[in-house]
Structure formats: structure tokens, C-alpha cells
Structure 1
Amino acid sequence: MELIERIERAETELVWSFGDIPGPGPSLLGLTRRRFGSVVALAAPRDTLSFWSQASGFGLDRAVTSAVIGEVLDYLKTVGCATANLSIVPSALPSDWDAIATSYGITPGQTTVQVTRTAGPVEQAPSDFRVEPIGPQHADAWAQLQVDAYEMRDDGFRAMLAAYTDWPNATAYAAWDGDTMVATGSLHVIDGVGRLRSGATHPAYRGRGAQSALLTRRMTDAFAQGCDVVTTGSWKPEPGRHNPSLANMLRLGFEALADRTPQIWRLS
């Protein structure tokens, strides 16, 4: 199995696992989910941020066709969604994708660069901050830091984040300056793939190495848990622009795997 396919399968199961999140988040969002062969669709019709509704796993067990896309979108519309992100690896896009996209009201989103790091020794990034997993007693502060950093203020979004410490196969991490939480990160482990998410830093502490320390700590822990690869990503800068987050990942030993452009469906 090629690495891109393996990571896509792990990511698809991660999306499915969102339906198992404890706490009030799923109810606040009206969360439901359904499988269509290899495709997983997650629907959150009460999500005011258009963040959680998504579908992943296209092209893994059958070709991407208008009928396949329509089947997923019919489900999303039936449960009340008006928008969703469709994750389709570039190699799975059919030759008539432009026509399919136009017929369903699908447009490309912002391209990201997916990066990976294979198992091996990890040099811990120097930092003045203490980095460690957190427990439920810090979950609310961990969620609030991300809500503030992302400026994504929605009760359901916050409740989902606050349940991270109880998510299956997930570990929430924080960087601390004394007793002050200054940055966040998470690690999801699925089928030997470590997925790094939730990177947010308090504005007053940006540029001081908190995310580097969180990245190297999570890589180390992922490999210790048996992962042979970790993956994450960040937005692809346009020519002449710089993305410090992506540059930091590459500096820490990640390698670019592929560009990924989410396909955004909106109900017309």
C-alpha cells in the first residue's frame, strides 16, 4: 500500500472517530455519520463555523464518479448540511472532475502541503517551555486557547475540543510557561500513523519555539507508541510568500509528501 493511501485511510478513520467524542459537542453540532464503502461522511448541520462537516476516503475502493459524489451529498443535504469539505487525493480526481464539481456546486479550497516524518531518532527542539500531555483538569483551558487563537467561537466547536482528553486514540499536549498554558497540540494514533493536529499558540508567545517543542515531543511519543510515520500539514504559500509554520516543519525533519486541495461543497 502506498504511503499516501495508507495515510488517507488513517485520516478517514480519524474522521469517523469524531462521532465517538464524549461530552455535549456532538449533540450541540447535531453530529451524525455514515459510511459509503471506503468513504466516511461526517455531518454537523448546527455547526456555525462550517468546520466539522466533511467526507474522506474517496477513491480508495472505487473510482470517484458523479454518482459517488451525489450519494454523499444527498446524505449531507438530507440531514441538514449546507456545506462540507470533501477530501480527495489528487490522484483520485477523475478527468471529468471539473464538470462534476460544477454540477454540484463544488469549488477548490486553500491548498495545503501534507508533510511526513518516518520513524527514527528525534532531536528535541530547544525550548524554555515545559511540554507534556494534559489531563481533564486542563481541558477547558486547552480548548479556550484554541478558540481564542483561531477566533472560532462556537459552543459546539469548543465542546468538541474540551473533550480531547477523553477522545479515543488521542493525546492532548500543552506547552507551559510556569503555570501559564501558552500553546497546544494533539496526537492521534491510528493503524501505525501518527496525526498531529490542534497547533495553536497564544499571540503573546508566538515565535518563541513552543510549536517546535510540541512537534518534536509528539513525534517522539508517536514513534514510542509504534508509529512508523507521522503526518501533518500547513497552507501552501503563494510564490513570494512565506509560511513560517510549514518552514518549521521542514526544518524539523518533515518532508513534503503532496499538495492537498480540499473540495468545498456549498448548497446552492
Structure 2
Amino acid sequence: MSALFCDLPLAERIERAEARRMAEATEKARKRPGSAAFVLPVAGGVATFAEAGSPLNKVAGLGFGGVPDAESLAGVEKAFAAVGCPVQVELAHLADPRIGAALTARGYRLESFENVLGRDLRGGPDRVAPPGVEIRPSGDDEFAAWLDVAADGFGHPDDQDPPSDQQFPREVLARAVRDLAGDGVRRYTAVCDGVVAGVASMCVVDGLAQFTGAATLPGHRRRGVQTALLSARIADAAGAGCDLAVVTTQPASRSQHNAQRQGFELLYTRAVLGRLPAVS
């Protein structure tokens, strides 16, 4: 398997897929009674707000459709201010550098980073199943149980990961995961010694497999559950004709370590920039 090289077209392909995923999930939130959710296109990316405290509240995919003008940015900031939500922009380091300059000039500050890793799927990857761990597809009939495990797993960060300020109320997190893991998303359940230990999901679009989250319950960590979930999705993505799998991780996290052990390589980094709502 040759090393991946991430050029601008590849980064744009991944960022457009991520923006589409955020928009589709937030559109589901918009349909709930009394929702204040919105989806706004901005310079090739998308600004989304689902509800207060949601991980869907962000600007994603910016950087490959031109530099947003001051009027566009002001419109996004006004929309977030109207719902009392800070603006958070995820900006790939391969994006047009003028965008970062425009954002910092408007008062945005660097808050954190996240890594985008990829794996070339051409070459017939083998499944890896640690002893005692079984991975199976998760159907609609057990979606509620799948979602419950996902919320519990995501809600309890690994104590070996670097500290993160990304904490979300459980009910809000569960709704976001439900909206992200609905129609067209492949879901997986990991069973460890006969007990459900973790879950994962994957979205396949135009030959790109997005590994859209994996969670292991705290009591089952260090058993190879994440390795098995990664391996199953890699094999299924290759079987579906995808040429590339991508996953987003916190830098220096166990998730990044596990992904790299399964052949993923760092493609690029996103800077997470934040701006508080203006005080009237």
C-alpha cells in the first residue's frame, strides 16, 4: 500500500463530503417542532446550528469555494448570535490562507485542532478480529439500543486522551448522533464476550467512506473493540468500491493511535477557530 498524498482536490473532496453530512443531519433537526435550527451555505462550506450545546453547531467545509466576503461572514455571525451560540469554524490547513486572515481580523481565536486521516482502500484489506470480539451490522430494529451505547461511549472520553473542552449534554449528544446516523448510514455493533461493548458508523458517498464515529463503553476499553470496528468498516468500504476511507480524530488520542495502526495516515489538520456572540 503506497503512502497517500493529500493535494488540494483530495482535501476539497473530503471537506465537501463533511459539509454535506453536517447539512443533512441539521436538516433533520430543523424538522423538530419549535426548532431554531438553520443551514446556511457559505463559500463552498456550510454553517449549521441544530440546538444549544450540539456538536452540529459549526461552520464546516470552508476554504475551497473562494474567500467569503465580509457580508457573508456577518450573516453567519448574525444567525449564530440570534440563537446565543458562539461561532465555531473548522478550517483545513490546506484552505486558502486568506480565510484564516479574514477570520482572525474579525476576532476569531484558535481553540483547538483536529486531524483528518485517510486510508487507501485499493489492495484488499483483511478483517482483524481480536479474540472474543465480534462485529455485526446493526439494523433499524435495534437503533434505540445502538444510540444508547453511542451516547454513553461518546459521553465518557477515554482517560488516556489529551484533555478536551468538547463536552455535550447527553440528550443533546444523543439527538445529534441520531441525526448523523440515520438513513444511508451503515451502523455496526461490537460484541465482546457476548455483551455489547461498542458501536460505530460509516457513510459511503461517491467512493469516499467516512468513518463517522465509534464509541466503546468504558468497561470494555483496551480489548481491541476499536481495532475490530475499524477493520470491519475498512473491509466493507473496500467491498463497496470505495477508494478512500477517512476518519477525524483528536490529535494524540487513542482513536488516532488505533487508526494509524490500521493503516490510516495523516492527511491534514483542521484548526478550530471560535468567536463569541457580539454583546448588544
8 Å CA contact 1:142–1:162 kept in 2: the answer is no
Counterpart check, 1:159 vs 2:159: no
2:88 is aligned to 85
1:6 is aligned to 13
Q: Which of 92-101 and 252-261 deviates more? A: 92-101
Q: Match of 2:187, SS?
A: strand
Alpha-carbon distance, 1:232 to partner? 0.5
2:159 is aligned to none
Counterpart check, 1:172 vs 2:187: yes
Return closer, same or farther for 1:28/1:227 CA change in 2, 3 Å cut-off.
farther
Q: TM-score, normalised by structure 1?
A: 0.84
Where do residues 1-268 of structure 1 align in structure 2 (5 Å cutoff)?
A: 2-21=9-28, 26-27=32-33, 30-44=36-50, 46-47=51-52, 49-78=53-82, 80-95=83-98, 97-98=100-101, 100-101=103-104, 103-104=106-107, 106-120=108-122, 121-127=124-130, 128-151=132-155, 152-162=168-178, 167-177=182-192, 179-237=194-252, 243-268=253-278
Return closer, same or farther for 1:190/1:27 CA change in 2, 3 Å cut-off.
farther
8 Å CA contact 1:131–1:173 kept in 2: the answer is yes
Alpha-carbon distance, 1:185 to partner? 0.9
8 Å CA contact 1:110–1:235 kept in 2: the answer is no
Return closer, same or farther for 1:58/1:96 CA change in 2, 3 Å cut-off.
closer
**How far apart, CA to CA, are the structure 2 residues paired with 1:234 and 1:190?**
20
Q: What is the letter of the counterpart of residue 189 of structure 1?
A: V
Q: What is the letter of the counterpart of residue 37 of structure 2?
A: L
Superposed CA offset, 1:229-254 (max 9, x none): 110021223xxxxx332122111111
**How far apart, CA to CA, are the structure 1 residues paired with 2:31 and 2:220?**
29
Alpha-carbon distance, 1:196 to partner? 0.6
8 Å CA contact 1:112–1:236 kept in 2: the answer is yes
Return closer, same or farther for 1:21/1:130 CA change in 2, 3 Å cut-off.
farther
Structure 2: tracts of 5 or more residues without a match: 1-7, 156-167
Aligned-pair identity in percent equals 21
Q: Which of 50-59 and 110-119 deviates more? A: 50-59
Q: TM-score, normalised by structure 2?
A: 0.81
Superposed CA offset, 1:174-232 (max 9, x none): 10135522111110112221111221111111011111111111111122222211100
Q: What is the letter of the counterpart of residue 264 of structure 1?
A: G
Return closer, same or farther for 1:61/1:100 CA change in 2, 3 Å cut-off.
closer
Alpha-carbon distance, 1:40 to partner? 1.3
Return closer, same or farther for 1:91/1:177 CA change in 2, 3 Å cut-off.
closer
Q: What is the letter of the counterpart of residue 75 of structure 1?
A: A
**How far apart, CA to CA, are the structure 2 residues paired with 1:170 and 1:202?**
21
Return closer, same or farther for 1:89/1:164 CA change in 2, 3 Å cut-off.
closer
Q: What is the letter of the counterpart of residue 61 of structure 1?
A: G
Alpha-carbon distance, 1:95 to partner? 4.7
Q: Which of 200-209 and 144-153 deviates more? A: 144-153
Alpha-carbon distance, 1:25 to partner? 8.3
Return closer, same or farther for 1:246/1:60 CA change in 2, 3 Å cut-off.
same
Structure 1: tracts of 5 or more residues without a match: 238-242
Alpha-carbon distance, 1:100 to partner? 3.4
**How far apart, CA to CA, are the structure 1 residues paired with 2:84 and 2:183?**
26
Alpha-carbon distance, 1:130 to partner? 1.4
**How far apart, CA to CA, are the structure 2 residues paired with 1:174 and 1:54?**
28
